[in-house]
């Protein structure tokens, strides 16, 4: 097992990608701390994990608040005394499909808080607990739109910020035995997104993307989880500062 004996924190663990990451890591022997603002969703993830023979703990945290991020890490350290892996999945687009002249200051701030500032603060806390141990794996969640998007302005900015944050952290933390990488998926079929769009609109979007992506389909949450597992394992021990596009060849 590639993660045997390790303690891993997965934020956004109630969602499709976070849940897939938690289950995939658990299957490789890690003890999983699942965290989300959605307590019932986290409980479902933990139940699935334990049903598969894994071990874990659910801790509620709203990553849009610095004090809750601090408390999350304090609870982990008080209980376990170490944290080996952090996967920052929590996020979402608070201003989808906005025209540039319709950018809203409140929704823009929410996008930056939820997607970028939360990641910066989580990485700060991760560095504080990992540096004294001389080991750590941090995996951040960006998106293919880090390259730019014609109607996801503040979200693209946030995901682009995660790219530069990841590179900067890799430069700073490498000498302490900590690797930092990021995932940049294209369209992923997650239940929350399908529900938000509605079945008919989702099918249209999925079919359109599948026709344009060279591999002929959109991503599954487990496609993303498998890449996260690679980056968190010793298989990627000499990889840091990278943003890996899980895109089926989109935007080649």
Contact call for residues 28 and 5 (beta carbons, < 8 A):
no
Question: So what's the pLDDT on residue 199?
Answer: 83
Alpha carbon 227 to its chain centroid, in Å, reads 11
**Residue 65: CATH number of its domain:** 3.40.50.720
Question: So what's the pLDDT on residue 241?
Answer: 98
d(CA 124, CA 169): 9
Please report whether residue 208 resides in a domain: no
d(CA 246, CA 146): 13
Over the Cα atoms of the chain, what is R_g?
17
- pLDDT digits over 95-123, tens only? 988 899 999 999 999 999 999 999 999 99
Residue entry with tokens 């994990």: 49
Please report whether residue 252 resides in a domain: no
d(CA 217, CA 51): 30
Number of domains in the chain: 1
pTM of the shown model: 0.96
Please report whether residue 117 resides in a domain: yes
Question: So what's the pLDDT on residue 196?
Answer: 74
Please report whether residue 115 resides in a domain: yes
Question: So what's the pLDDT on residue 245?
Answer: 97
The two structure tokens encoding residue 97: 């499909």
Range(s) of the domain holding residue 75: 7-188+220-237
105: left (phi over 0), alpha (psi -120 to 50) or beta: alpha
Please report whether residue 1 resides in a domain: no
Contact call for residues 170 and 241 (beta carbons, < 8 A):
yes
Please report whether residue 199 resides in a domain: no
Please report whether residue 251 resides in a domain: no
Question: So what's the pLDDT on residue 2?
Answer: 96
Question: So what's the pLDDT on residue 96?
Answer: 85
The two structure tokens encoding residue 58: 């659910």
pLDDT < 70 positions in the chain = none
Instruction: Please identify every residue annotated as catalytic.
Output: 155
Contact call for residues 10 and 89 (beta carbons, < 8 A):
yes
Question: So what's the pLDDT on residue 193?
Answer: 77
């Amino acid at each position: 097992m590639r993660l045997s004996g390790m303690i891993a924190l997965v934020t956004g663990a109630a969602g499709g990608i976070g849940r897939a990451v938690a289950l995939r890591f658990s299957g490789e022997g890690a003890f999983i701390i699942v965290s989300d603002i959605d307590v019932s969703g986290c409980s479902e993830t933990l139940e699935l994990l334990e049903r598969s023979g894994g071990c874990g703990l659910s801790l509620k945290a709203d990553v849009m608040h610095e004090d809750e991020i601090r408390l999350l890490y304090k609870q982990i350290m008080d209980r376990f005394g170490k944290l080996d892996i952090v996967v920052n999945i929590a996020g979402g687009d608070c201003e989808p499909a906005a025209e540039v002249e319709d950018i809203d200051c409140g929704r823009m701030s929410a996008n930056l808080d939820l997607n970028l500032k939360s990641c910066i603060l989580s990485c700060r806390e991760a560095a504080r607990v990992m540096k004294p141990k001389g080991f750590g794996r941090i995996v951040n969640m960006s998106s293919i739109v880090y390259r730019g998007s014609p109607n996801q302005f503040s979200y693209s900015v946030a995901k682009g910020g995660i790219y530069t944050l990841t590179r900067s952290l890799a430069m700073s933390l490498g000498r302490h035995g900590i690797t930092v990488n990021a995932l940049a998926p294209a369209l992923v079929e997650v239940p929350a997104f399908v529900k938000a769009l509605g079945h008919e609109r989702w099918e249209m979007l999925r079919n359109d993307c599948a026709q344009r992506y060279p591999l002929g389909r959109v991503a599954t949450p487990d496609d993303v989880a498998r890449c996260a597992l690679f980056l968190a394992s010793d298989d990627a021990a000499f990889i840091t500062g990278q943003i890996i596009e899980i895109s089926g060849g989109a935007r080649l």
